């Protein structure tokens, strides 16, 4: 393969992302983790699945960063996962240190890479990676909106008993309880969902989307979601590797867009070979603007907290 993607963290999200990348035949994959034997074992297991799955992508497991040299994309999933009763924000102190260290290691070896951040709390960790890497804003982005939109699309599909392929949804804002699902921009075969279901049902789906991660944490009890987060990160990677220029909601560094300054927050972007090639501003109602500002304020609080942590 002429493309190389490194996945940092060989836990459930990282290992599943590695599997999806290989099975989509997108790239060779380097899986890195600090636990000796785990990335090597998972990479070998995935390599042994290749003859059955019919792909020739090579997977390498490592406890060192040297194997990551020359990566086109680095997906950072490292950090502790949420457990029941924890918010994403509870993770900030531990995960900030992990993401800072990891980012410096990979940025030194792959100075032209694009970073996709998955570690929580997502928006805050984007700031950590942005500062630690010194990369331009186009090459640091966070996976949040693709996942949140996928959850919204799933619930729309369930509610209306239609194919998920016919659903499109947009979720803006921070990756947390203040995220902003936009029913006006969410459609089934081009028809806004506001034309297809009553307001109380829309409100229920919006609320379930906001709590989508917590719902799974509550069910699993010992961890958090990983299949859908991995798929979301890989969709972003695919758009970059293939220069597809998909419009996807991602955490991006805003400098004036949507009235936000120097803040990572989820907005629609065009993803291509250079990373974020365009931030797309859509017209919001006053109510939607207020909701997005509330979400931005929550992200700003986390950003300020990072400063106190050093």
Q: Which residues are catalytic?
A: 175
φ/ψ (deg, to 5) at 135: -75, 155
Identify which of 74, 132, 122 has the alpha carbon closest to the alpha carbon of residue 95: 122
**C-beta of residue 141 within 8 angstroms of C-beta of residue 251:** yes
Burial of 109 (0-12, 13-18, 19+ CB in 10 A): middle
Pairing assessment for the beta strands 167-168 and 73-76 based on DSSP bridges: unpaired
CB neighbour list of residue 163: distance below 8 Å, 6 or more residues apart = 157
**C-beta of residue 181 within 8 angstroms of C-beta of residue 156:** no
C-alpha to C-alpha distance for 209 and 204, rounded to whole angstroms: 9
Please tell me the number of Cα atoms within 13 Å of 144 on its side-chain side.
32
CB neighbour burial string for 52-80, b if at least 16 within 10 angstroms, e if fewer:
eeebebbbbbbeebebbeebbbbbbbbbe
Q: Which two tokens stand for residue 19?
A: 């599997």
C-alpha to C-alpha distance for 246 and 70, rounded to whole angstroms: 24
Query: Residues 279, 147, 14, CA angle at the centre, nearest 5°?
Result: 110
């Amino acid at each position: 393969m002429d493309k190389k993607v490194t996945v940092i963290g060989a836990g459930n999200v990282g290992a599943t992302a590695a599997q999806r990348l290989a099975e989509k035949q997108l790239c060779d994959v380097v899986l890195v983790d600090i636990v000796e034997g785990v990335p090597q074992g998972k990479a070998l297991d995935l390599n042994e699945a290749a003859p059955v799955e019919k792909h020739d992508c090579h997977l390498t497991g490592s406890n060192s960063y040297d194997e990551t040299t020359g990566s086109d994309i680095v997906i950072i999933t490292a950090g502790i996962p949420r457990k029941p009763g924890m918010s994403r924000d509870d993770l900030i102190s531990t995960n900030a240190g992990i993401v800072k260290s990891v980012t410096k290691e990979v940025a030194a070896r792959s100075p032209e890479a694009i970073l996709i951040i998955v570690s929580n709390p997502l928006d805050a960790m984007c700031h950590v990676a942005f500062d630690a890497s010194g990369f331009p804003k186009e090459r640091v982005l966070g996976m949040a909106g693709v996942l949140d939109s996928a959850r919204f699309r799933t619930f729309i599909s369930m509610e209306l008993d239609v194919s998920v392929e016919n659903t499109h949804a947009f979720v803006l804002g921070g990756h947390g309880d203040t995220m902003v699902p936009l029913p006006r921009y969410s459609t089934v075969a081009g028809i806004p969902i506001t034309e297809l279901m009553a307001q109380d049902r829309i409100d229920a789906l919006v609320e379930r989307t906001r709590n989508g991660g917590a719902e799974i944490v509550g069910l699993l009890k010992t961890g958090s979601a990983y299949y859908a987060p991995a798929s979301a990160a890989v969709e972003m990677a695919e758009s970059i590797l293939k220069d597809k220029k998909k419009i996807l909601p991602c955490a991006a560094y805003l400098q004036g867009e949507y009235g936000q300054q120097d803040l990572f927050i989820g907005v629609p972007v065009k993803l291509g070979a250079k990373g974020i090639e365009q931030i797309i501003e859509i017209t919001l109602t006053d109510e939607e603007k207020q909701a997005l500002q509330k979400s931005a304020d929550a992200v700003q609080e986390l950003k300020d907290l990072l400063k106190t942590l050093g």
